[in-house]
Structure 1
Amino acid sequence: MYKYLICLLFLLSIFGFNVSAQNPIPESIQQSHWVDSVFKKLSRKRKIQQLLFVRAHTNLGQKYEDSVAKVIKKEQLGGVVFFQGGPMRQAVLTNKYQALVKIPLIVAMDGEWGLGMRLDSTISYPYQMTLGAIQDNTLIYKMGQYIGYDFKRMGMQMNFAPDMDVNNNPNNPVINYRSFGDNKYNVAQKGIAYMQGMQNAGILTTAKHFPGHGDTDVDSHFDLPQLNFSRARLDSLEEYPFREAIKAGLSGVMVAHMNIPALDSTKNVPSTLSRPIITGILKDSLNFKGLVVSDAMGMKGVVKFFPNGEADVRAFIAGNDVLELSENSKRAMRMIRKAIRKGQIDQKELDTRVRKVLAAKYLAGLNYYQPVNTDNLVADLNRADALDLQQQLSDKAVTLLKGDSLIQNLDPTKRTAIVSFGATATTVYQQDLTKTFTNSKLYFVSKEAQTPDISNILQDLKSYDQIIIGIHDTRLRPGSKLDYSSNLKLMIADLAAYHNTVISVFANPYTIAGLPGIEKAGALLACYQKEAPLQHAAAKVITKQIKPAGKLSVSVNTYFPNGSGIVQSGL
């Protein structure tokens, strides 16, 4: 027994989450004693159930939680995917759900920017488009480690991240700011750094959305997007980050719901239901041996043309190892069993996939499952070093597009107007700036500002020596176009024409293209999103506490292409 344990530890050190391994769930682990001992006890029905993951929330009340518990207990599913809620509630519910199954569940979540993507009272790291501006990928690796710690602390084993789509369509309604940008090399490098950090922290990762969801103007939650690109284009651009991540030992891939005629000419078939794409390209051509996970199986992009459970059975036949969030898992299991009896898929293929899921559970430590310890949970998830990293990432992302000399010559003693667009109360940005610019006055221009108010403010601002502006997108998520009136946009253009104006855009960088004239500003900073850490970071650049270090992660327009940014060495 002692020799067996030593050998097993050696294999784990080689194959576990080592990103240099070509096969992140290797055969030696699949054949481990634990996997074999669990597998041989499974009936065909129980095997199929291991491939199904159910949806869970902790913000929908007791009745909903109990209904999910009933499904988990009766169907003995392979995993659960948590959505919105709170950390303590989720930890308690995780323990409850795990107690209902004979084989521990893989507990998963979409945590692209950390637990804060789904849970209150937890940290949100910057969006991936913001991270795309950072020039030091070791920080992104560290973020992956920290997120991995948080997931393990919450009793979770799998993160549906990173997003490795190349967002080369500014109007993309579903990826956009979730992508590292429109440069495939930058997307690959940062996605791999993030993935490596999480995997080396013991978390299963799931790069998405294969073969690439970045160049579409249709949201697959609501309809089926179609990618009418050539095989050569898809291979050289969309698939590039996934191919590189697979080489680096990626443990999982999530497949998108997209119709791609160049890869599968079957009418209206989404990539999640395409055997030529999943088995032919991903598993065979790209030699991917990790877990293949479908995107949510209730999305319109997959059920629009394949309703009533047909999508589930087709996804299984196509080669998915995990079917995420079936509309009806009991029906899915029944239809997949029928497909196997009819010979539509070989029993050996089912067995291989089940072993992969069990091996993943083994690698994630579920062979020695322990309930979540709720003592000091919220404090652990909001520890000081994690908050420091959140700010450090923000500091390194802020991008100075123009105006280095103006910022260097700003005088804290001169009369300074500090203006916030889209705000009705003092912003973090303004609070920080007033500590340095003591001879200042604050102005607010709400999204509802009318022409007389705008004219009065413009008249006032003419008397100031310096004008520092913040443009704030107050919406929950940073869209590609600001929801500002044409009058507000004209006001921004008027102010940008002043020689003494510094503008920080706390919004999606694509919004800069929708503000004609802003390129005339004396200084312009792209700050990517509205959150406080980015406002702190911009204020620190303007007050010369830090030097700008970011470079634009997407091409905005001819003035500001990808890679724009004045980078200063030093602080």
Structure 2
Amino acid sequence: MRFSVCLRSLACAFSLFVSFHTAHSQTVPSFLKANPRWVDSVFNAMTPDQRISQLIMVAGFSNRSRGYEDSLMRLVQTYQVGGIVFFQGGPIRQARLINRLQTVTKVPMLVAIDGEWGLGMRLDSTVRFPYQMTMGAIQERDDLIYKMGAAVARQSRRLGIHINFAPVADVNNNPNNPVINFRSFGEDKEAVARKALAYMKGMQDNGLLTSLKHFPGHGDTGTDSHYDLPLISKNRQQLEGLELYPFRKLIDAGAAGVMIAHLNIPALDATPNLPSTLSRKVVSDLLKNELGFGGLVYSDAMNMKGVTKYYPSGIADRMGLEAGMDVLEYTLDIPRAIAEVKQAIADGRLSQADIDARCRKVLAAKAWAGLDRYKPVDLMNLVRDLNEPESELLNRLLTEEALTVLKNDKEESGEPLIPLLNLGTKKIASVSLDAAQETYFQKMLGNYTAVKHFNIAAATADTTLKRIRQELKDYDLLLVGVHLSNIRPAVQYGVTPKTVAMLKELCETGKAVVSVFGNPYALAKLEGLDQARGVIMAYQLTQFTEELAAQLIFGAIPAKGKLPVTVNERYKRNDGIATSSIGRLKYTIPEEVGVDSYFLTAKIDSLMQVALTQKATPGGVVQMAKDGKVIFRKAYGTHTYEGLTPTKEDDLFDLASVTKVSTSTLALMRLVDEGKFNLDATMADYLPDFKESNKANLIWRDVLTHQAGLKASIAFWTDTKNPDGTWKDKTFDEEKHGPYKIEITDNLFMHRRYRKTIFETIRDSPVSAKKDYVYSDLSFILYPKIVEKMTDQKFEDYLKQNVYEPLGATTLTFNPMRFYPLPRMVPTEYDSVFRKTLVWGRVHDEGAAMLGGVSGHAGLFGSSNDLMKLVQMYLQKGYYGGKQFISPQTVTEFTRYQFPEKGNRRGIGFDKPTYKYTGNAPRYASPQSFGHSGFTGTFIWVDPQYNTSYVFMSNRVYPSRTHTKLITLNIRTNVADVLYEAIRRGPSSNLAGILATP
């Protein structure tokens, strides 16, 4: 008995291979070898009708009524079909429906989907990867396409899907192709074969059956087979030279499945109006015998006009099996199809052996897919599992590799315009066409510098257009986004006459850099691009293409892509200009640097929730970067405990003592580079008024490391009060008049000469004989005077013109109410003693307020993002955005321990970790790290060892500086430590695979 079972199993296995004859080497699809015992057992228990039913795949929708689902259940139960292909719906609904359907089948069904760009092609709440045309532009990273295939496989299997009808192996050499077009990798047969192979292998290697389509090639037709039967008039030699090339390559590599297209190809079968799906010469003679394909042969959907126009349902299904197909997709009339097949067997047009061999092949595929040990789809965390951060990372990386620069004019300096350099010299506007509201493109542009945004949609009034035209005249550069919401040739790729006219007008200004978010064939319909200064093809309209195109313009990422198709004489296949990255921040997700976003976000959210509930601060912003990439940026809480204004990522905060390393220290570093400032000179060398003072011989290196004996601070304002509480003469007045010009609040003005008193008070203050470490504000009040004397510029002007504006850090400013609305600024303390008002939009520090809001120790305001640009410049040894702001040697000198032998933890201006943890720095910070904290609740930290930068913004002094929980709880440094922990954890196995480069 055991011997006979073995013989029967061997015979069954042999029957799966008997027809796989080929004259060239071919890898046999691996699924054919799966669990022959199970295949044998299940097959032997089937009736002849059930074996026919295994070759039928019905259509399914998970976005329809319960009545529809019940009727589908009855259909599956009655006919015991072999599979179902889903077209529309959502993951939870589909999973539940799959589980229901599988309960009424004796043999679990194969579940399929058309997921050419992932599950998102058919299902909501799932991942949409780039179109194949987009990936056709990728040059060196086809490994990413393989990894995308692996991700599609993981997600499909998680949802109970076993087959993906992908990849498209058609070579699209017809720009007017209405059905393939952007679904193809392009017009180069070798590139199509190479990229389709990567996608196929990625899926198959990770447990998902695939189906190449649309055999023998649907790329050169002007007819959509969904609505008619296309005619392919090429001769056999032409077909061999182009259309069949990718299919041969992938079949030889072990393709699991091939889908037959509904095409009429006289060179292959001269029968009039015969679709290739019903042609034995195409399916059996060419595909199976000549090309040696032994996997599953699927029909294209049998409800399409390409087949039903001439052959009714049932008859067409029977003819398809007669032609040699294994699986009929989307059979409309199942009972008639089964009856027709049975009659064909009776008539001798089909043999039972043919049906049996194909049934066994389907069963082998089921065993390979795991249906020999079927388990229902687990609904727990399904949507989260289907939207893994690794997939977003893949989306970003694929998009980045594809972006293609097609034009890049030179600047007067001879440098290419893209990436943009010298931001401080350009006034920039963005114009998004066919977009009524601010776009992802515009929001990302705004991360790099000040950009004024304009939006023009179909409904934009002529009066508005007139105003926009007038305003745009004031700008030096126009960053134009063409947002095409349709990618199909039948609707002109979404290009409207209004878009064409407006784009042409913008290009004629000679100031436009145009990014096209749409089908590359749309380039032929966009007039005026030859007059643009730069042209970027992004291939489709997604958040990723918009954001990354903006990042490319500013040099955060390079351009590497090339056109995969020829559009016209101007734009040809393989056109593409490489650009460079220039050290600006890239905005991405934690996974790109090997960090788990779930871990990072959950831990930081938890700590910030503690801060909010403990009233350590009303709100705050956390921003982190690693390897030059911003991986975390999030706002928490509200502006005040009583208010309803939520904190936003781009809110402006009073930086308090972070001002020291953002203004004074910064300026001194540049002056050291210029040979104008010597750290080992004395105070008297640069402050003539101090030559007769007790500070004349103090060395600047000692002063900047807080070990020169200076007092910690002086409360200047307390000396302006009389014993009765009134103001002393020539100090303050409640009205602005005469010499009382320095505005402290709306109702308090300081005498202009009192500034001199402040400097004299510092000059005459005592100096301790003990040169112990004592943190002092006093010297930082003096540095603006030194900088102004050495540069012949006002302190603020010097910083803005030489650093902030070229960095694109345009919100870094003193006295921000001059430039920004009050609601964008976060209030600090209610000052009940000196100013007797809520300090909001003005500097919190009293001394800086008395200096007109401009000082070297406090007074700077800014957003977390702009502050991070400065911080990142320090991390990059003085380099950012293509410009060396400070020499690497000077950055190194200022950020190293100066006097470790004395137990002094300071660098020059910068704070550094203590030798024994005290909370001033992150617990896991390296000795190379440096930063500074601010009294109002701000904090920055840079760690070269881990290549990280960190900015923390808060207003912990609201409503009173007596609120110290932010400090006692170590919120700022504990949040920083989460990043260190996340880095130490390392990437997951899936993520590590994505990050690995070939």
- Say which SS state the counterpart of residue 155 (structure 1) adopts: coil
Measure, in 1, the Cα distance between the counterparts of 2:209 and 2:505. Answer: 51
1:231 equivalent in alignment to 2:274: no
Q: Give the AA of the match of 2:226.
A: H
- Say which SS state the counterpart of residue 493 (structure 1) adopts: helix
Q: Give the AA of the match of 1:131.
A: M
1:46 equivalent in alignment to 2:58: no
> Can you list the C-alpha shifts for 1:44-75, whole angstroms capped at 9, x where unaligned?
11110000001111111111111111110110
Measure, in 2, the Cα distance between the counterparts of 1:154 and 1:425. Answer: 36
CA shift at 1:123, angstroms? 0.8
CA shift at 1:26, angstroms? 6.8
Contact kept in structure 2, 1:410 and 1:466, CA below 8 Å: no
> Can you list the C-alpha shifts for 1:282-329, whole angstroms capped at 9, x where unaligned?
000000000000000011110110114211111110111000011111
- Say which SS state the counterpart of residue 42 (structure 2) adopts: helix
CA shift at 1:42, angstroms? 1.7
Q: How does 1:88-487 map to 2 (within 5 A)?
A: 88-135=92-139, 136-403=141-408, 405-413=416-424, 414-438=426-450, 440-449=451-460, 453-475=464-486, 481-487=492-498
Contact kept in structure 2, 1:504 and 1:524, CA below 8 Å: yes
Contact kept in structure 2, 1:509 and 1:556, CA below 8 Å: yes
Contact kept in structure 1, 2:419 and 2:552, CA below 8 Å: no
CA shift at 1:483, angstroms? 3.6
2:563 is matched with which residue: 552, 557, 564?
Answer: 552
Measure, in 2, the Cα distance between the counterparts of 1:126 and 1:164. Answer: 16
Q: Give the AA of the match of 1:531.
A: T
Quickly say closer, same or farther: Cα 1:82–1:274, change in 2 above 3 A: same
Contact kept in structure 1, 2:488 and 2:494, CA below 8 Å: no
- Say which SS state the counterpart of residue 454 (structure 2) adopts: strand
Contact kept in structure 1, 2:233 and 2:265, CA below 8 Å: yes
1:518 equivalent in alignment to 2:529: yes
Contact kept in structure 2, 1:504 and 1:538, CA below 8 Å: yes
Q: Give the AA of the match of 2:84.
A: V
Contact kept in structure 2, 1:163 and 1:207, CA below 8 Å: yes
CA shift at 1:484, angstroms? 3.8
> Can you list the C-alpha shifts for 1:18-42, whole angstroms capped at 9, x where unaligned?
xx96110576548x11111111122
- Say which SS state the counterpart of residue 408 (structure 1) adopts: coil
2:545 is matched with which residue: 530, 534, 540?
Answer: 534
- Say which SS state the counterpart of residue 377 (structure 2) adopts: coil
Quickly say closer, same or farther: Cα 1:553–1:504, change in 2 above 3 A: same
Q: TM-score scaled to structure 1, two decimals? A: 0.93
CA shift at 1:200, angstroms? 0.4
My pick for the range that moved more, 221-230 or 483-492, is 483-492
Contact kept in structure 2, 1:480 and 1:511, CA below 8 Å: no
Q: Percent identity?
A: 46
CA shift at 1:456, angstroms? 4.5
My pick for the range that moved more, 222-231 or 343-352, is 343-352
Measure, in 2, the Cα distance between the counterparts of 1:434 and 1:71. Answer: 55
Quickly say closer, same or farther: Cα 1:368–1:293, change in 2 above 3 A: same
- Say which SS state the counterpart of residue 418 (structure 1) adopts: strand
Measure, in 1, the Cα distance between the counterparts of 2:132 and 2:32. Answer: 33
- Which runs of no fewer than 5 residues in structure 1 stay unpaired? none
- Say which SS state the counterpart of residue 85 (structure 2) adopts: strand
Measure, in 1, the Cα distance between the counterparts of 2:366 and 2:278. Answer: 25
Q: Give the AA of the match of 2:564.
A: S
- Which runs of no fewer than 5 residues in structure 2 stay unpaired? 18-24, 410-415, 584-998
1:67 equivalent in alignment to 2:71: yes
Question: Which structure is higher in RCO with an 8 Å CA cutoff and minimum separation 6?
Answer: 1
1:505 equivalent in alignment to 2:510: no
CA shift at 1:462, angstroms? 2.6
Measure, in 2, the Cα distance between the counterparts of 1:506 and 1:557. Answer: 18
May I ask how many residue pairs the two structures share in their alignment? 555
- Say which SS state the counterpart of residue 380 (structure 2) adopts: coil
Measure, in 1, the Cα distance between the counterparts of 2:113 and 2:430. Answer: 40
Quickly say closer, same or farther: Cα 1:534–1:478, change in 2 above 3 A: farther
- Say which SS state the counterpart of residue 481 (structure 1) adopts: helix
Measure, in 1, the Cα distance between the counterparts of 2:193 and 2:440. Answer: 33
CA shift at 1:347, angstroms? 2.0
> Can you list the C-alpha shifts for 1:417-460, whole angstroms capped at 9, x where unaligned?
1000000000000001012131x211111134466654543343
Contact kept in structure 1, 2:26 and 2:251, CA below 8 Å: no
Contact kept in structure 2, 1:179 and 1:187, CA below 8 Å: yes
My pick for the range that moved more, 141-150 or 450-459, is 450-459
1:80 is matched with which residue: 81, 84, 100?
Answer: 84
Q: Give the AA of the match of 1:78.
A: G
What's the Cα RMSD here? 2.1
